[in-house]
Copies of this chain bind each other. A is one copy, B any other.
């Protein structure tokens, strides 16, 4: 083993995991963009002093984690996580299941705010920015969202012109603040719509809703965002595969 391996978090981890960590760090640092190929396996072999098999294992790890995408004959590329819109996976779409109907976002409010204690504990601070928005599919409001971000990492986001923010927040976080969302955890339960949510979703007061609580994390495990999304219970539908 060469000494070119980085020492970050070097607890005598296997070489392929250290290489994985190094690559993950470089990805997070924005070294490559979505269109360009990462170094080939050959190149990584030379750079790292490891053998092909080991390099492949490191890359495969990142593929399994959803960060990279391999295309035979072409190269290895970033795979931008598409799960911003994936809250919709909890909901049954209309019959056509449109071959990718585009979700539209309507921003309702962005304010500096003090996070409730439970949220502050997750984000590590109560000094936050709060974003409220509604997400629509074919002009019908499906989801009402209440999003909390630590102000230290997203300073000034409440003042960014709405035009600059696309329908998907995670790419925006990355492009504007260099914050990369690597994974997220969702928790679903059933409840009743708040007055505000009911109004935003055109539902009767206290209508039954599915509540999806999400915490999104950076590569290093730091929580970057917390949100509570809410949608009509009778449209809720979730599939899962077990084995």
Contacts and interface: CB of A to CB of B under 8 A. Distances in A.
Contacts of A186: 239-242
Nearest to A66: B243
Nearest to A183: B243
Contacts of A189: 92, 236-238
Contact of A65 (B237, B240, B243): B243
A103 interface: no
Given A190-B236, A234-B190, A237-B189, A242 B184 contact: yes
Nearest to A236: B190
Contacts of A184: 241-243
A167 interface: no
Interface in A185-240: 185-191, 208, 210, 233-234, 236-240
A98 interface: no
Nearest to A79: B243
Given A53-B53, A238-B238, A81 B243 contact: yes
Interface in A67-99: 81, 83, 86, 92
A212 B237 CA distance: 10
A23 to B, nearest CB: 16
Interface in A147-197: 182-191
Contacts of A183: 241-243
A164 B135 CA distance: 52
Nearest to A86: B242
Nearest to A238: B188
Contacts of A210: 190
Contacts of A83: 242-243
12 contacts: A66-B243, A81-B242, A92-B189, A182-B243, A185-B239, A187-B238, A188-B240, A189-B236, A190-B210, A191-B234, A208-B233, A238-B238
Interface of A: 53, 65-66, 81, 83, 86, 92, 182-191, 208, 210, 233-234, 236-243
Closest 8 CB pairs of A and B: A183-B243, A66-B243, A190-B233, A188-B238, A186-B240, A83-B242, A184-B242, A189-B237
